[in-house]
Structure 1
Amino acid sequence: MTQAGDHQFCTLAEHHDEREATWRERALNAEDALKVAHTKILAQRIRIGELIGQICDLRAGWTEEAIQRITAENTNLKQRVRQLTTDTRTLDERLKAARSNLRFQDRHVADLEARIADPGPAT
Protein backbone atom coordinates (compact mmCIF):
# COMPACT_ATOMS: atom_id res chain seq x y z
CA MET A 1 0.00 0.00 0.00
CA THR A 2 2.81 2.31 0.94
CA GLN A 3 4.63 1.46 -2.27
CA ALA A 4 1.52 2.14 -4.34
CA GLY A 5 1.03 5.46 -2.56
CA ASP A 6 4.68 6.36 -3.10
CA HIS A 7 4.42 5.33 -6.76
CA GLN A 8 1.27 7.40 -7.24
CA PHE A 9 2.94 10.35 -5.49
CA CYS A 10 6.00 10.00 -7.76
CA THR A 11 3.77 9.82 -10.84
CA LEU A 12 1.88 12.94 -9.79
CA ALA A 13 5.15 14.71 -9.00
CA GLU A 14 6.63 13.73 -12.38
CA HIS A 15 3.47 14.85 -14.16
CA HIS A 16 3.58 18.14 -12.25
CA ASP A 17 7.28 18.58 -13.13
CA GLU A 18 6.51 17.94 -16.83
CA ARG A 19 3.75 20.54 -16.79
CA GLU A 20 6.02 22.95 -14.97
CA ALA A 21 8.79 22.40 -17.58
CA THR A 22 6.37 22.95 -20.44
CA TRP A 23 5.06 26.10 -18.83
CA ARG A 24 8.60 27.40 -18.21
CA GLU A 25 9.58 26.65 -21.80
CA ARG A 26 6.56 28.52 -23.14
CA ALA A 27 7.27 31.43 -20.81
CA LEU A 28 10.90 31.58 -21.97
CA ASN A 29 9.81 31.43 -25.62
CA ALA A 30 7.31 34.21 -24.99
CA GLU A 31 9.98 36.33 -23.29
CA ASP A 32 12.34 35.80 -26.24
CA ALA A 33 9.61 36.74 -28.72
CA LEU A 34 8.79 39.82 -26.64
CA LYS A 35 12.44 40.90 -26.66
CA VAL A 36 12.61 40.49 -30.45
CA ALA A 37 9.37 42.46 -30.87
CA HIS A 38 10.65 45.27 -28.66
CA THR A 39 13.88 45.41 -30.67
CA LYS A 40 11.97 45.60 -33.95
CA ILE A 41 9.61 48.26 -32.60
CA LEU A 42 12.56 50.34 -31.40
CA ALA A 43 14.25 50.06 -34.80
CA GLN A 44 11.03 51.11 -36.56
CA ARG A 45 10.57 54.06 -34.21
CA ILE A 46 14.12 55.20 -34.92
CA ARG A 47 13.53 54.90 -38.68
CA ILE A 48 10.23 56.82 -38.43
CA GLY A 49 12.00 59.55 -36.48
CA GLU A 50 14.69 59.80 -39.15
CA LEU A 51 12.10 60.03 -41.93
CA ILE A 52 10.08 62.67 -40.09
CA GLY A 53 13.28 64.62 -39.60
CA GLN A 54 14.00 64.45 -43.34
CA ILE A 55 10.49 65.68 -44.11
CA CYS A 56 10.92 68.58 -41.69
CA ASP A 57 14.29 69.42 -43.25
CA LEU A 58 12.76 69.45 -46.72
CA ARG A 59 9.87 71.67 -45.65
CA ALA A 60 12.09 74.07 -43.76
CA GLY A 61 13.84 75.12 -46.99
CA TRP A 62 10.64 76.18 -48.73
CA THR A 63 8.51 79.20 -48.01
CA GLU A 64 4.80 79.19 -48.73
CA GLU A 65 5.37 81.66 -51.56
CA ALA A 66 8.02 79.42 -53.15
CA ILE A 67 5.73 76.40 -52.91
CA GLN A 68 2.89 78.32 -54.59
CA ARG A 69 5.24 79.56 -57.32
CA ILE A 70 6.56 76.08 -58.03
CA THR A 71 3.02 74.66 -58.04
CA ALA A 72 1.94 77.32 -60.55
CA GLU A 73 4.97 76.62 -62.74
CA ASN A 74 4.21 72.90 -62.60
CA THR A 75 0.62 73.54 -63.66
CA ASN A 76 1.80 75.73 -66.55
CA LEU A 77 4.29 73.09 -67.66
CA LYS A 78 1.59 70.40 -67.61
CA GLN A 79 -0.65 72.59 -69.77
CA ARG A 80 2.26 73.21 -72.15
CA VAL A 81 2.90 69.46 -72.40
CA ARG A 82 -0.77 68.88 -73.23
CA GLN A 83 -0.65 71.60 -75.90
CA LEU A 84 2.55 70.21 -77.42
CA THR A 85 1.05 66.70 -77.45
CA THR A 86 -2.00 68.03 -79.30
CA ASP A 87 0.23 69.92 -81.75
CA THR A 88 2.30 66.80 -82.35
CA ARG A 89 -0.83 64.78 -83.14
CA THR A 90 -2.05 67.48 -85.55
CA LEU A 91 1.33 67.60 -87.30
CA ASP A 92 1.43 63.80 -87.55
CA GLU A 93 -2.01 63.80 -89.19
CA ARG A 94 -0.90 66.51 -91.64
CA LEU A 95 2.27 64.57 -92.42
CA LYS A 96 0.25 61.42 -93.14
CA ALA A 97 -2.09 63.39 -95.39
CA ALA A 98 0.86 64.98 -97.23
CA ARG A 99 2.48 61.57 -97.77
CA SER A 100 -0.80 60.20 -99.09
CA ASN A 101 -1.10 63.14 -101.51
CA LEU A 102 2.51 62.65 -102.61
CA ARG A 103 1.88 58.96 -103.33
CA PHE A 104 -1.21 59.92 -105.35
CA GLN A 105 0.79 62.56 -107.29
CA ASP A 106 3.62 60.07 -107.92
CA ARG A 107 1.13 57.56 -109.37
CA HIS A 108 -0.46 60.29 -111.48
CA VAL A 109 2.96 61.43 -112.80
CA ALA A 110 3.92 57.82 -113.54
CA ASP A 111 0.65 57.37 -115.43
CA LEU A 112 1.26 60.54 -117.47
CA GLU A 113 4.85 59.47 -118.23
CA ALA A 114 3.55 56.09 -119.37
CA ARG A 115 1.08 57.81 -121.69
CA ILE A 116 3.81 60.02 -123.16
CA ALA A 117 6.21 57.09 -123.63
CA ASP A 118 3.56 54.89 -125.28
CA PRO A 119 1.19 57.17 -127.15
CA GLY A 120 -0.86 54.27 -128.46
CA PRO A 121 -3.24 54.56 -131.46
CA ALA A 122 -4.11 58.14 -132.37
CA THR A 123 -7.76 59.00 -132.25
Structure 2
Amino acid sequence: MSSSQNPPQTRTAAALVSRRRDAQAAVDRVHEAIARLHREPAPVTVAAVARRAGVSRTFLYTNPAARTAVETAKADTGQQSRHPAVHQHDQHEATWRERALNAENGLKTANAEILAQRNRIGELLGRIRDMEAEWSEEAIHRITTENTTLKQRVRQLTTDNRNLDERLTAARSNLRFQDRRIADLETRLADPTTIQRSPI
Protein backbone atom coordinates (compact mmCIF):
# COMPACT_ATOMS: atom_id res chain seq x y z
CA MET A 1 0.00 0.00 0.00
CA SER A 2 2.85 2.30 0.83
CA SER A 3 4.48 1.54 -2.47
CA SER A 4 1.33 2.60 -4.31
CA GLN A 5 1.27 6.00 -2.49
CA ASN A 6 4.94 6.92 -2.98
CA PRO A 7 4.64 8.18 -6.52
CA PRO A 8 1.91 10.78 -5.69
CA GLN A 9 3.81 11.96 -2.60
CA THR A 10 6.96 12.27 -4.63
CA ARG A 11 5.15 14.26 -7.26
CA THR A 12 3.62 16.53 -4.59
CA ALA A 13 6.98 17.12 -2.97
CA ALA A 14 8.52 17.90 -6.33
CA ALA A 15 5.68 20.30 -7.11
CA LEU A 16 6.19 22.06 -3.78
CA VAL A 17 9.91 22.35 -4.40
CA SER A 18 9.27 23.71 -7.87
CA ARG A 19 6.71 26.18 -6.51
CA ARG A 20 9.11 27.39 -3.82
CA ARG A 21 11.85 27.72 -6.42
CA ASP A 22 9.57 29.72 -8.71
CA ALA A 23 8.44 31.90 -5.83
CA GLN A 24 12.03 32.54 -4.78
CA ALA A 25 12.94 33.38 -8.36
CA ALA A 26 10.00 35.78 -8.50
CA VAL A 27 11.12 37.36 -5.21
CA ASP A 28 14.63 37.74 -6.64
CA ARG A 29 13.18 39.47 -9.70
CA VAL A 30 11.21 41.73 -7.38
CA HIS A 31 14.43 42.77 -5.61
CA GLU A 32 16.12 43.36 -8.97
CA ALA A 33 13.16 45.44 -10.17
CA ILE A 34 13.27 47.52 -6.99
CA ALA A 35 17.02 48.03 -7.43
CA ARG A 36 16.50 49.23 -11.02
CA LEU A 37 13.78 51.62 -9.88
CA HIS A 38 16.16 53.03 -7.28
CA ARG A 39 18.92 53.49 -9.86
CA GLU A 40 16.77 55.30 -12.42
CA PRO A 41 15.44 56.82 -10.01
CA ALA A 42 11.75 56.13 -10.28
CA PRO A 43 8.94 55.87 -7.75
CA VAL A 44 8.49 52.42 -6.26
CA THR A 45 4.90 51.33 -6.74
CA VAL A 46 3.22 47.94 -6.81
CA ALA A 47 2.37 48.35 -10.48
CA ALA A 48 5.93 49.38 -11.42
CA VAL A 49 7.52 46.49 -9.49
CA ALA A 50 5.05 43.96 -10.89
CA ARG A 51 5.70 45.17 -14.43
CA ARG A 52 9.50 45.15 -14.05
CA ALA A 53 9.64 41.81 -12.22
CA GLY A 54 7.12 40.06 -14.47
CA VAL A 55 4.88 39.04 -11.58
CA SER A 56 1.29 39.74 -10.73
CA ARG A 57 0.14 42.27 -8.18
CA THR A 58 -1.52 39.45 -6.29
CA PHE A 59 1.88 37.82 -5.84
CA LEU A 60 3.28 41.04 -4.39
CA TYR A 61 0.43 41.21 -1.90
CA THR A 62 0.31 37.51 -0.96
CA ASN A 63 4.00 36.61 -0.87
CA PRO A 64 5.43 37.78 2.47
CA ALA A 65 8.97 38.31 1.18
CA ALA A 66 7.81 40.22 -1.90
CA ARG A 67 5.35 42.31 0.12
CA THR A 68 8.02 43.18 2.70
CA ALA A 69 10.50 44.13 -0.03
CA VAL A 70 8.01 46.42 -1.75
CA GLU A 71 6.87 48.06 1.49
CA THR A 72 10.46 48.62 2.61
CA ALA A 73 11.40 50.09 -0.76
CA LYS A 74 8.36 52.36 -0.75
CA ALA A 75 9.20 53.54 2.76
CA ASP A 76 12.84 54.22 1.81
CA THR A 77 11.80 56.05 -1.35
CA GLY A 78 9.31 58.12 0.58
CA GLN A 79 11.94 59.03 3.17
CA GLN A 80 14.42 60.05 0.45
CA SER A 81 11.84 62.01 -1.49
CA ARG A 82 10.85 63.89 1.64
CA HIS A 83 14.30 65.45 2.00
CA PRO A 84 14.12 67.53 -1.23
CA ALA A 85 10.53 68.37 -0.42
CA VAL A 86 11.49 69.54 3.05
CA HIS A 87 14.38 71.56 1.62
CA GLN A 88 12.13 73.12 -0.99
CA HIS A 89 9.54 73.83 1.68
CA ASP A 90 12.19 75.54 3.80
CA GLN A 91 13.25 77.65 0.82
CA HIS A 92 9.67 78.69 0.12
CA GLU A 93 9.12 79.42 3.79
CA ALA A 94 12.28 81.56 3.92
CA THR A 95 11.22 83.42 0.79
CA TRP A 96 7.77 84.11 2.16
CA ARG A 97 9.26 85.10 5.52
CA GLU A 98 11.52 87.61 3.77
CA ARG A 99 8.59 88.93 1.76
CA ALA A 100 6.54 89.24 4.93
CA LEU A 101 9.34 91.19 6.64
CA ASN A 102 9.71 93.48 3.62
CA ALA A 103 5.97 94.01 3.52
CA GLU A 104 5.95 94.75 7.24
CA ASN A 105 8.74 97.31 6.85
CA GLY A 106 6.97 98.86 3.89
CA LEU A 107 3.76 99.02 5.90
CA LYS A 108 5.54 100.74 8.80
CA THR A 109 7.07 103.27 6.41
CA ALA A 110 3.71 103.88 4.75
CA ASN A 111 2.00 104.32 8.13
CA ALA A 112 4.66 106.80 9.24
CA GLU A 113 4.29 108.76 6.00
CA ILE A 114 0.50 108.73 6.28
CA LEU A 115 0.75 110.00 9.86
CA ALA A 116 3.10 112.80 8.77
CA GLN A 117 0.76 113.74 5.92
CA ARG A 118 -2.21 113.77 8.28
CA ASN A 119 -0.34 116.05 10.67
CA ARG A 120 0.57 118.35 7.78
CA ILE A 121 -3.02 118.39 6.53
CA GLY A 122 -4.27 119.14 10.04
CA GLU A 123 -1.81 122.01 10.31
CA LEU A 124 -2.90 123.46 6.97
CA LEU A 125 -6.57 123.09 7.86
CA GLY A 126 -5.87 124.94 11.09
CA ARG A 127 -4.27 127.79 9.16
CA ILE A 128 -7.23 127.92 6.80
CA ARG A 129 -9.63 128.10 9.73
CA ASP A 130 -7.56 130.89 11.25
CA MET A 131 -7.64 132.81 7.99
CA GLU A 132 -11.37 132.29 7.66
CA ALA A 133 -11.82 133.54 11.20
CA GLU A 134 -9.83 136.71 10.45
CA TRP A 135 -11.83 137.58 7.33
CA SER A 136 -15.54 138.21 7.65
CA GLU A 137 -17.97 137.56 4.83
CA GLU A 138 -18.36 141.29 4.27
CA ALA A 139 -14.61 141.76 4.02
CA ILE A 140 -14.31 138.86 1.58
CA HIS A 141 -17.10 140.35 -0.57
CA ARG A 142 -15.43 143.76 -0.50
CA ILE A 143 -12.05 142.31 -1.48
CA THR A 144 -13.66 140.32 -4.28
CA THR A 145 -15.37 143.45 -5.60
CA GLU A 146 -12.15 145.44 -5.42
CA ASN A 147 -10.33 142.65 -7.20
CA THR A 148 -12.90 142.70 -10.00
CA THR A 149 -12.60 146.49 -10.25
CA LEU A 150 -8.82 146.27 -10.39
CA LYS A 151 -9.02 143.70 -13.18
CA GLN A 152 -11.30 145.99 -15.16
CA ARG A 153 -8.93 148.91 -14.53
CA VAL A 154 -6.00 146.81 -15.73
CA ARG A 155 -7.87 145.97 -18.92
CA GLN A 156 -8.68 149.68 -19.45
CA LEU A 157 -5.08 150.71 -18.86
CA THR A 158 -3.94 148.03 -21.29
CA THR A 159 -6.29 149.44 -23.93
CA ASP A 160 -5.12 153.01 -23.25
CA ASN A 161 -1.51 151.94 -23.46
CA ARG A 162 -2.13 150.28 -26.81
CA ASN A 163 -3.82 153.46 -28.10
CA LEU A 164 -0.93 155.59 -26.88
CA ASP A 165 1.52 153.29 -28.62
CA GLU A 166 -0.40 153.68 -31.86
CA ARG A 167 -0.46 157.48 -31.49
CA LEU A 168 3.25 157.54 -30.68
CA THR A 169 3.99 155.48 -33.78
CA ALA A 170 1.95 157.88 -35.93
CA ALA A 171 3.68 160.91 -34.38
CA ARG A 172 7.11 159.44 -35.07
CA SER A 173 6.09 158.80 -38.67
CA ASN A 174 4.93 162.42 -39.06
CA LEU A 175 8.15 163.64 -37.46
CA ARG A 176 10.25 161.69 -39.93
CA PHE A 177 8.19 163.14 -42.78
CA GLN A 178 8.69 166.67 -41.47
CA ASP A 179 12.42 166.06 -41.08
CA ARG A 180 12.63 165.00 -44.72
CA ARG A 181 10.74 168.15 -45.86
CA ILE A 182 13.01 170.41 -43.80
CA ALA A 183 16.09 168.74 -45.23
CA ASP A 184 14.71 169.20 -48.75
CA LEU A 185 14.01 172.90 -48.15
CA GLU A 186 17.48 173.45 -46.72
CA THR A 187 18.97 171.84 -49.80
CA ARG A 188 16.94 174.04 -52.13
CA LEU A 189 17.86 177.19 -50.23
CA ALA A 190 21.54 176.32 -50.34
CA ASP A 191 21.50 175.85 -54.17
CA PRO A 192 22.48 179.17 -55.93
CA THR A 193 20.53 178.36 -59.04
CA THR A 194 17.37 178.51 -57.09
CA ILE A 195 18.00 182.08 -55.86
CA GLN A 196 16.35 184.81 -58.02
CA ARG A 197 17.96 188.25 -57.99
CA SER A 198 15.55 191.08 -57.47
CA PRO A 199 15.73 194.03 -60.16
CA ILE A 200 17.62 197.27 -59.25
1:118 matches 2:191 = yes
User: CA-to-partner distance for each residue in 1:69-90, whole Å, 9 max, x for gaps?
Assistant: 1111111111111111111111
Q: Taking structure 1 as the reference length, what is the TM-score of the superposition?
A: 0.88
Letter in 2 for 1:66: A
User: Aligned runs of 1:17-96 on 2, under 5 Å?
Assistant: 17-96=90-169
Q: Secondary structure at the match of 2:193?
A: coil
Partner of 2:178: 105
Q: Secondary structure at the match of 1:120?
A: helix
User: CA-to-partner distance for each residue in 1:11-70, whole Å, 9 max, x for gaps?
Assistant: 222222222211211111111111111111111111111111111111110011101111
Q: CA deviation at 1:102?
A: 1.1
Letter in 2 for 1:7: Q
| Segment of structure 1 superposing worse, 113-122 or 63-72 | 113-122
Distance in 2, matches of 1:32 and 1:62, equals 45
Answer 1 or 2: higher relative contact order, Cα 8 Å, separation at least 6: 2
Distance in 2, matches of 1:121 and 1:76, equals 64
Relative to structure 1, the CA distance from residue 122 to residue 38 in structure 2 (aligned partners, 3 Å threshold; closer, same or farther) is closer
Relative to structure 1, the CA distance from residue 122 to residue 23 in structure 2 (aligned partners, 3 Å threshold; closer, same or farther) is closer
Relative to structure 1, the CA distance from residue 121 to residue 29 in structure 2 (aligned partners, 3 Å threshold; closer, same or farther) is closer
Letter in 2 for 1:39: A
Report sequence identity in percent. 64
Relative to structure 1, the CA distance from residue 69 to residue 121 in structure 2 (aligned partners, 3 Å threshold; closer, same or farther) is closer
Counting matched residue pairs gives 123
Relative to structure 1, the CA distance from residue 121 to residue 63 in structure 2 (aligned partners, 3 Å threshold; closer, same or farther) is closer
Distance in 2, matches of 1:81 and 1:72, equals 14
Question: Over alpha carbons, which structure has the higher Rg?
Answer: 2
Letter in 2 for 1:31: E
